[in-house]
Amino acid sequence: METDNQGQPCQKWKKKAYGGIQPGYPDNHTDSTFLQEMITNANVVKRDLSKAILDSISISQYVSIVSLVVSIWTHTLNSKIDEHSLLKLDICLLALGFSVLLVTAPSFSLQLLTKYFLNISFFISGLYVLAPVYHTLTRSISSDSIWALTVSLLVIHLFLHDYSGSTIRPPGALNNPKLASNISLNASIVASVLIASRLPSRLHVFAIMLFSLQVFLFAPLVMFCVKKYSFTVHLGFSFVLVGVTLAITYQLHRLFFGTLLVLIVFISVICPYWLIRIQEYKFEINGPWDEAKLCFDITE
């Protein structure tokens, strides 16, 4: 039996959350039973390399989509793509997107798609009206500043993009878009406006803005629905998309091609390998000293 400073026997120590100082024991006293309830690595998720590589494909896929947008921007600025070709591309992308959503998302009924189509019609009309404003918006800014700002905004867009879903939520989604994904979307829209302001005509501006907004707004939603519909289809489309993007960027600029290839390999191979390697060093300790957590949803 333990004794106090005067040699008198002490009462048996008990673990109390709000019991005050127990007679004969200091306030920071612990006995041999204190660490019996300690748990290590209770919440650590074990991952394997193949699963990590498959999960990283969504990031490589979207990097390829942004690279395709940059390629279209470059060809348009170099007058290799005219405004009529851009409008045809916009119509094809819009029809393809609605078709994919109708097939892959059961919650997308024909009535809901009709409602979306009407909203997009109003959106396109407003974009056409604002095209003259975008055309002259950055006339007083030098082109070098425009290119540097556009690259910076695209980097911000890629860093803050929500790769687990889309900023536009499908019907029935419970979670609202995060602040970071909204900032990412705004960065891509501003970059599109900066590029559009350097085009020669208002129809060019309207066509390139419609193309950019279709990709940045609706492509993540389409890819999200395809992934939920069939992961095999998602993988096949991703490999084709990456291959087409590398082929186009190789013809556009060798440095751009090399940078994109290194980035895709880094994202899809090196980063998953690093994640698996550093996982063995993760050590998490839990015990009775941890803060209590609710086991139910407080909103219920």
CB 13 within 8 A of CB 29: yes
Higher pLDDT, 180 or 39: 180
pLDDT, residue 174, reads 46
Distance CA 210, CA 95 (A): 14
Distance CA 135, CA 142 (A): 14
Output the average pLDDT for the chain: 81
CA distances from 254 to 64, 98, 148, 260 (A): 16, 35, 20, 10
Mean pLDDT for 132-150 is 88
Using alpha carbons only, what angle is made at residue 223 by residues 220 and 226, rounded to the nearest 5 degrees? 150
CB under 8 Å to 1, separation ≥6 — which residues?
A: 9, 10
Among the ranges given (114-128, 164-178, 221-235, 251-265), the one the predictor scored with the smallest mean pLDDT: 164-178
DSSP one-letter string for 218-287: IHHHHHHHHHHH-HHHHHHHHHHHHHHHHHHHHHH-HHHHHHHHHHHHIIIIIHHHHHHHHHTT---EE-
The yes-or-no verdict on residue 34 having pLDDT over 90 is no
Distance CA 60, CA 64 (A): 6
Distance CA 181, CA 173 (A): 16
pLDDT, residue 275, reads 86
Distance CA 272, CA 51 (A): 9
Mean pLDDT for 142-162 is 91
DSSP state of 39: E
CB 273 within 8 A of CB 54: no
pLDDT in tens, 240-257: 999 999 999 999 889 999
Its pTM stands at 0.77
DSSP state of 18: S
Sorted by where each begins, the domain ranges of the chain are 48-81+230-281, 85-219
Helices (H), the chain: 49-77, 83-104, 110-135, 143-160, 179-196, 202-213, 219-229, 231-252, 254-265, 271-279
Of 112, 69, 104, 110, nearest in space to 213 by CA = 69
Alpha-carbon radius of gyration of the chain: 28
